[in-house]
Amino acid sequence: MPNLAGKVALVTGCASGIGAATVRRFIADGAKVLGTDLDEARGSALCAEVGAMFTVQDVSDRAAWPAIVAKAVAAFGRLDILVNNAGMVSGAGIGDLDDEAMFAAWDQVLAVNLTGTMAGCRAAIAAMRENPGGPKGAIVNIASTTAIAPLPTDVGYSASKGAVRVLSKSVATWCAKAGLDIRCNTVIPGATQTGMIADAERRIPGLIAAVAKTSPLNRLADPSETAAAIAFLASDECPFMTGAEMLVDGGALSIHPGF
């Protein structure tokens, strides 16, 4: 089990799903955690339950990011880990909406999923450079299998998650070239049992069963399974991994779609 004892982590989108599972896993592994989310009720309840701090955050607010990171540093003295997990879907293919609605949906999903992730990386690196003992840290960005096999029904989500993959590589190599012991890796989850897919199931009965069949394991992931991969990348167990991608997709991208 990865040992995060003494580590300080910031996890966005902590109120549910993969974010909540990550906060639980990090606390169990000995980390001190600041969880953030727009959903104050559920986010604060989760953090209070497990012994983490909580603050409200809109990750798309670029200007607020340094202050969010500063809260973790002020509370715990350093920042070792950032998990950029917060995200949203646009729910629209390229021709599904009129121009005004299409570009509004596009702008919003990219502001959260991509610009928010970049702003988080930038603020975290600034804090990690000042860590006692020297620059050191681990950033884990959450993408999606749609970054590799995009959805025709969600151009904004697919494009933003594809961009997160490349953003992570750019961040990783910039830090390495700058001589900073700050790693940046990507986790690529497949279909996961989260509130987002549960909401979609209410709109589209049978969706979960259909999505489960996209994996050879014929099921959705539990969020804790993705959290385990995040914890590994956040730990000191993999010091030579940076700019890498870890698939947690139940083999969905390993099989020909006809089989």
So which residues are the catalytic ones? Answer: 157
Instruction: Give percent helix, percent strand, percent coil of the chain, each to the nearest 5.
Output: 50, 15, 35
Q: In the structure encoding, which two tokens stand for residue 250, read together?
A: 């139940």
Buried b (16+ CB within 10 A) or exposed e, 104-136: ebbeebbbbbbbbbbbbbebbbebbeebeeebb
d(CA 35, CA 258): 41
| Strand bridging mode 181-189 / 136-142 | parallel
Residue 188 buriedness (CB in 10 A; 0-12 / 13-18 / 19+): buried
The Cα 119–Cα 121 span in angstroms is 5
